Structure 1
Amino acid sequence: MWGLILPALVGSALAGALSGLLGVCALRLQLSSVGFAMAHAAFAGAALGLLVPLPPLLLSLLFALGVAALLGPVSEFTRLPAEVVLGVSFPIAMALGFVFLALAPGEAFGSPALALL
């Protein structure tokens, strides 16, 4: 029994400690809404995965990394705080996700990849 519970307890303790530390860093950098933006970008990538013959999990990861990579340069170019750029990016990503879902063929909704959404 402890073979299953002990790793779960250790993992939970580590995740709790690291989440607290990362939360403080995110607040100090004024990036408290970065989780929303990454989640919506991942949703758009997974929805695109229903349209193209690539794994939705891979596209989800690429979309999230793309938004993260563009955050700094867009923020510097527009001279806006990163929170504002994040606030604009996540509704755009959500809208793209819905557009991709609307364009997806009917048989895509029977795929196991839909569980990612």
Structure 2
Amino acid sequence: MTIKFTPDHEWVQIDGNNATVGITVHAQDALGDVVFVDLPEVGKTFAAKDAAAVVESVKAAADIYAPANGVVTEVNEALRADPSLANSEPLSTGWFFKMTLDNPSDLDGLMDETSYTAFAADAH
């Protein structure tokens, strides 16, 4: 499995044609306490960079984007029940949705962890 990062401060764990999407530590720090998530419907198809989910905090609301073309196969019901998981466990149990990608190579242009760390440091 490979983890890549988007310029929108999302992480994408890639396993073959499957991807799990969540927000980064930097994103949850910027948002503050997450109080609500609006997750996509299972079976819904998205194009790359379509807004697929919404995360709301005490400070702001932000879209979570599809990293590539594909269909949503699962949403994190635990996150829906306890949105604070996006703060406490953003890189694990706080994931938002999973999708099957039309073409996993569409993610080749995303950042690796080293590149993302430098990018996020510059974003402050």
Q: What is the TM-score with the length of structure 1 in the denominator?
A: 0.26
Which has the larger Rg?
A: 1
Whose helix proportion is higher, 1 or 2? 1
Query: What TM-score do the two structures reach when normalised by structure 2?
Result: 0.25
Q: Report the structure, 1 or 2, having the larger strand content.
A: 2
